[in-house]
Amino acid sequence: MTPTPAARRVPAMPRTELRPLTAADLAACAMLLADRHRRHRVAQPLLSARFEDAAATLAELTAAYGTPHASGAVAYRAGVPVGFVLGAPKPSPLWGPNIWVEAAGLAVTNPELMRDLYAAAAARWVDEGRTAHYVVVPAHDAELVRAWFRLGFGQQHAHAIRPATAMPAGLSVRRATRADIPALAQLDLELPRHQGQSPTFSAGPPGTLEEAVAEWTADIDNPAYATFVAEADGQVIGSAVGCALEKSSAHLSLARPERAGFLGFAAVFPHARGVGAGRALGTAVIDWAASAGFDSVVTDWRVTNLLSSRAWPALGFTETFLRLHRLIRY
């Protein structure tokens, strides 16, 4: 007997309920976030195993939810949580009238659902005048990244990691001394100057040479930082700084591995670029991190910075998170 059309009908999927995120949702969202991090660590095992535990992700979400003006959206299907997004503004005017979805601020069971969650949350953000939107997304999840791209976001920044193992020897690099302060101060201005040029066009203020000299005079002997200079023909042509990742304000929550060093700064004078100084300086920081007992080294870069976006992957750094960005009504 031929089945009737009614007999062949596929049961309807449970309806997805979207609503504002509340404190009562955090425990369920923490489980989604811990699941997301477990999958992320398959691709990036150097990330912290601690956040595979929902108790740890709940602590992160609770802190994020308690940030002033935090808000978001959550999705349920048949009473089961299937996704959330949570954002909060940063007070710095550098980011514009902003909202940030940080590394702990999103998780979904289906990447396409993220578009619905963003639509639900962004209506409030824009009503509040927050029209510069930033989101930090796991780099390995191509479908999730693509969902954000189809929301009008583009990639602005990359976070990356590599093991803390010694590198082959290269250009002449040594630890900086107090005699290097004039050159170090000048190099401090080179990075924001370069970032302000095409195609990055960063709005970060460069500061003054006098301010840089004063800071180096006060901090050159700080044991928490390892400062290196590269030399050619007896002249300093570049510098780099390494430290513990805890010193970074950009690598937080699920994006902060335990026992990680940080390549926090590197710059080379324009006339000396292209001879391998950046690579040698990065190598020196990686070697320092290995000798200091760190398990990994983390760094980050603007993807429109043509120099760093090529130099750091060449040293073995692989992307962990991508910072995406969107301006509303432009």
| End-to-end CA, the chain | 60
Contact residues for 249 (Cβ-Cβ < 8 A; gap 6+): none
Helix (H) or strand (E) holding 115: helix 113-127
Task: Report the topology of domain 163-319.
Answer: Aminopeptidase (3.40.630)
- On whether the CB atoms of residues 300 and 251 are closer than 8 A, the answer is yes
| Averaged pLDDT of the chain | 94
For residue 279, the one-letter residue type is: R
Distance CA(141)–CA(143), nearest Å, equals 6
What mean pLDDT is predicted for residues 16-22?
97
Give pLDDT, residue 12: 56
Q: Is residue 26 over pLDDT 90? A: yes
What mean pLDDT is predicted for residues 287-311?
96
Give pLDDT, residue 94: 87
What mean pLDDT is predicted for residues 12-37?
93
Give pLDDT, residue 235: 93
**CATH number for the domain whose boundaries are 16-152:** 3.40.630.30
Give pLDDT, residue 229: 97
Distance CA(188)–CA(328), nearest Å, equals 33
Confidence tier at 330 by pLDDT (50, 70, 90)? confident
Distance CA(312)–CA(279), nearest Å, equals 8
pLDDT digits (tens, 9 = 90+) for 65-80: 999 999 999 999 999 9
For the chain, state the CA radius of gyration.
23
pLDDT digits (tens, 9 = 90+) for 260-289: 999 999 999 999 998 899 999 999 999 999
What are residue 126's phi and psi, to 5 degrees?
Answer: -70, -40
What is the bridge-based pairing of β-strands 173-175 and 225-232? antiparallel
pLDDT digits (tens, 9 = 90+) for 178-237: 999 999 999 999 999 999 999 989 877 778 999 999 999 999 999 999 999 999 988 999
- pTM for the structure as a whole: 0.91
16-152 and 163-319 share one fold? yes
Would you kindly state where each structural domain of the chain is located, as residue ranges?
Answer: 16-152, 163-319
Distance CA(206)–CA(191), nearest Å, equals 8
Contact residues for 210 (Cβ-Cβ < 8 A; gap 6+): none
Distance CA(151)–CA(52), nearest Å, equals 28
